[in-house]
Chains A and B, each alone.
Chain A
Amino acid sequence: MTKILVPVKLVLDYNLKARVKSDKTGIDLTNVKLSINPFDEISVEEAVRLKEAGKATEIVVVSIGPAKAQDALRSGLAIGADRGILIETTEVVEPLNVAKILAKVVETEKPDLVFLGKQAIDDDSNQTGQSLAALLDWPQATFASTLVLEDGAVQVTREVDGGHQTLKLALPAVVTVDLRLNEPRYPTLPNIMKSKKKPIATQKIAEFGIDITPRLKVIEVHEPPTRKAGIKVKTAAELVDNLKKAGVL
């Protein structure tokens, strides 16, 4: 039967606007709401649906981060994952190093599938799934919008430039999920309560023996150039006149 590993990340809630710190060292994350990365929520939901359909046996969620990253694991457990692994660190872990640590988790947990969000909405890197697949020498399907689990294989329809592409991957495999794969459920109160009793194992990042020294040095983080609101016009004719003057028609 199929075991699914779902890495999840705690990020600034998607409804909130990121604020750059005044010393330009990064984004201010103190006293703001942090939530599970929305794409990761979709990957947990997909795993849970497979389990509910009798096609998956166990779902393990894993997160790398400070103690607070437990919140992302709890969100996954409330959707229906069975247990969590927290790999604790207060350091910044870049996507390649995240992939290296996840590869170690895969060695221990031996899942048949790893579902990841296609990108985290904080650093917008869109790398971890692909890099993990490379390190494991597993096949990959990114940007999944439909997923069908078959005997020993998974058929994935991907959102690509120009439309859709369908691939078949022999298991074990890595799939990264896109927005339209599913609409994650709102966990019910009883499920949230139940999730609090589900086990989370905590490990220190040092136990993995991976050098997590960053390869990218952040020189600064600054605000993007701001765009000023322009003018409101009354009529279509006035609009067309303005566009002609601006030289874009």
Chain B
Amino acid sequence: MTTLVLASHDQKTLDASTAKAVTAALALGEDVHLLVAGSNIGAIADEAAKLQHVKKVLKADAVTLEHQLAEPLADVIVSIAKDYDAIVTAATSVGKNVLPRVSALLDVQQISEITKVISTDTFERPIYAGNAIEVVQSLDAKKVITVRISAFAAAPAGSDSAPVEPVTAQSRQYRSSFVNEALVQSARPELTSARIIVSGGRALGSSEKFDDVLFPLADKLHAAIGASRAAVDAGYAPNDAQVGQTGKIVAPDLYIALGISGAIQHLAGMKESKIIVAINKDEDAPIFSVADFGIVGDLFKVVPEIEQALG
């Protein structure tokens, strides 16, 4: 049988998390089909068709799907679910929003944010902010799974394109409607796919200082900007930058934590990073217990010195 992956996209381009969800889906050992749902998404479907090992792309193109709201999106997935043994998507804000709706409509207990596929029905997933790992076996005939993006490598793009077939979106009246959106425009790499992340905490002291200290270093390293919950709550950084249990889960090659004490909720979001650097004036800060390299000192002095040392 076959696994269906709901592709992640922003109505313009295919999101990098899609290729990671495909990797997790391939580990289930079945053929993989992709569903691209949105409005006017032909180009995204064509891009998705190039991912290696994807056998077919289904394209649900309808005005009602323009903002990927949970209700119409769930209806499209459910309408084709009978053909699939497993439905998988990346744990993005769209994926986390829609998939539990799908799982309830299919009477399946979803498995959230898997980090490893052990067999076709058994998976690892972190619980308690990553302080424990649960190994669960799904007894449902159909599997509904969200995938923690940071735990899987991206499936490569292949040379051939899979066929793209249209799927009809149901038309019915929905009681939720899109009003507007405010998306942060940034030329920097996206947090969950960046190779390097420079992340700031409450010690930055203000929004201005946060930008002044982090931006030049991030520019130099072509890094994404992250933040602790305390920094986001204080308004130093946008909510989208929050790294932690309830924010983004990241695993870059290099994570530089500036003035972040290292609450367990924050560590849950970044401790899988390859190399962690911590700069903090409190030598007992818990962040040092997970850091490969630490500097005890004033970040306002140390960060410019790092920029200088980078040349």
Contacts and interface: CB of A to CB of B under 8 A. Distances in A.
Interface in A215-229: 215-224, 227, 229
A163 interface: yes
A107 interface: no
A96 B232 CA distance: 32
Interface residues on B, range: 35 or more
Nearest to A166: B179
Q: Chain A: interface secondary structure?
A: mixed
A168 to B, nearest CB: 5
Interface in B227-249: 229, 232-233, 238-240, 245-246
Contacts of A145: 239
B271 A142 contact: no
B110 A96 contact: yes
Given A130-B104, A243-B293, A248-B274, A169 B134 contact: no
Given A96-B103, A236-B302, A236-B305, A162 B112 contact: no
B97 A142 contact: yes
B135 A122 contact: no
Given A124-B127, A127-B112, A236-B302, A243 B275 contact: yes
Contacts of B289: 227, 229
Could you say which interface size class chain A belongs to? 35 or more
Interface string B240-270: 1000011000000110000000001100000
A219 B118 CA distance: 11
Contacts of A124: 112-113, 126-129, 245
B213 interface: no
B296 interface: yes
A22 interface: no
Given A122-B127, A134-B101, A248-B275, A164 B239 contact: yes
Contacts of B10: 162
B159 interface: no
A31 to B, nearest CB: 17
Interface in A89-140: 94-97, 99, 118-119, 121-135, 138-140
Contact of A130 (B101, B107, B127): B101
A135 B309 CA distance: 58
13 contacts: A18-B129, A18-B131, A139-B176, A160-B240, A163-B239, A164-B182, A165-B180, A166-B181, A216-B111, A216-B136, A216-B139, A218-B134, A236-B308
Q: Which 3 A-B pairs have the closest CB atoms?
A: A236-B305, A139-B176, A230-B292
